[in-house]
């Protein structure tokens, strides 16, 4: 199944509020020495909005996205920040879940030459663009070379 790509996913004003908050110097990011699996050697910074049925204090920032996705249930909502690198580095091919009824969505927060690769399809980071696919589909993110950071929000949910 090909990924679904939706540009201008949120209303411009709603996206701007989300982007401004996530890219601010005051937004809490947490160092993760492995981006996908232990020993993959590509670090990243993460922020978990929702996990194990528990939202955090920043969860209201993603409510407009949740409204648009209209999930039956949410498994996890996590943001990733990959810093600029000299060359594009893929962060590790993986599946989000092995269950066939889960969906994954990646919302790109900023424009850069990093991407989400699903099979042979590279969807480049264009702000306010959402890519959706089955969670049991192998995919990977990447770093970027043209901006200081690449920021996305990952959603895993059921419809």
pLDDT in tens, the chain (159 residues): 789 999 999 999 999 999 999 999 999 999 987 655 544 557 899 999 999 999 999 999 999 999 999 999 999 999 999 999 999 999 888 899 999 899 999 999 999 999 999 999 999 999 999 999 999 999 999 999 999 999 999 999 999
Query: How many distinct structural domains can be found in the chain?
Result: 1
* Domain contains 57: yes
* Domain contains 33: no
* Domain contains 14: yes
* Domain contains 154: yes
* Domain contains 30: no
Q: 59 in helix, strand or coil? A: helix
Q: What is the CATH number of the domain that holds 118?
A: 2.60.120.620
For residue 115, what are the domain limits? 4-23+39-158
Q: 89 in helix, strand or coil? A: coil
* Domain contains 28: no
* Domain contains 29: no
The secondary element (H helix, E strand) that includes residue 115 is strand 115-118
């Amino acid at each position: 199944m090909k990924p679904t790509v939706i540009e201008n996913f949120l209303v411009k004003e709603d996206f701007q509020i989300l982007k401004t908050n996530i890219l601010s110097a005051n937004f809490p990011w947490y160092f993760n020495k492995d981006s996908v699996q232990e020993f993959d050697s590509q670090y990243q910074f993460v922020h978990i909005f929702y996990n194990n049925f528990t939202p955090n204090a920043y969860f209201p920032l993603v409510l407009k996205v949740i409204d648009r996705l209209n999930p039956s249930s949410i498994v996890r909502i996590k943001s990733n920040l990959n810093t600029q690198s000299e060359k594009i580095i893929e962060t590790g091919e993986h599946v989000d879940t092995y269950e066939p009824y889960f969906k994954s969505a990646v919302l790109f927060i900023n424009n850069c030459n990093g991407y989400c690769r699903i099979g042979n399809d590279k969807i480049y980071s264009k702000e306010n663009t959402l890519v959706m696919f089955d969670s049991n589909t192998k995919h990977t993110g990447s770093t970027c070379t043209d901006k200081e950071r690449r920021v996305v929000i990952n959603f895993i949910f059921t419809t």
